[in-house]
Chains A and B, each alone.
Chain A
Amino acid sequence: MDFDEFAGRYVGDLIRLGMAMTGSQSDAEDFAQAALERIFSQWGKVESAENSWAYARRVAVNAFLASRRRPQVREVLGSASSRSEPASDPIDATWGDGSLDAAISRLPKQQRAAVVLRYFEDLDARGVAEVLGVEPATVRGYLTRALATIRSECYPTANGAS
């Protein structure tokens, strides 16, 4: 498999992962592009990796964590006719006022990455730790804090959370 084939196969997955991570189409595309740039520059390693998607995912997440993109920046336009932008808040349709989506976006990057890897990519603590390059205990800490934050923001009166 050469780079073009690899990129063609995984760019959609990278954009979706970027959407889960950022909630923004433009940021998701940037996320995928940054990942592919890094992958291209170290293609030899990617090519020989046992699980190429796992490698690509790790590269993408680490590029995201190293980036300095603006938090919660949402694409406003572009060529309107060329886009099929979702509703202003993509989670609105499934989650009331969108507070959960907003709470996710407000999480610190490390916590957000851990949450996405855990609940979107469905990795266990060890898997998340491998992607992030930290110990599983650290991942558990990220997740505990992230869930506590989300719970307190979305369910301020539930379960005694404040």
Chain B
Amino acid sequence: MSDMSSLSHEYASTTDFSHQVNQAVLLVKKLIHGRKQTEVDTPNLAHAFRLIEGIVVRLLQRLGSDDIQLDDDAEAKLPNIPEDVLIRLEEQEQGNLEYFIDDLRSLRDSLVHSVELTAKQVEILDSICEVADASASATFRKLWRR
């Protein structure tokens, strides 16, 4: 009922999201950088790719890309990206939006067709992690009033 509940709820969702996406990206980077697939835990890797693809699709939807057609079931399975993370990403890419959407489309294609990700695509994933972590940290600081 107080602002603390709202902030705590926002923090819990954002820190969960931030942690999950960071773990997923770390696994994918390890695969790309030469770790054997067995060393990076195959079931977790499959989950990581699914999560990342879902996040990319959600971002494309949010940024107004019109080539995403999903049925209700597929739509419901997409991960939820906290609003603050979305707003921060939109602000970050504001002057660059069309290129960013193109990059996300190409990233999605690579994920769908299991093509090895390029350095630039990994950079995009890292920037999503960075924004998610910044959002979680900012909410945490508000909670602790620092």
Judge: A and B partners, yes or no: no
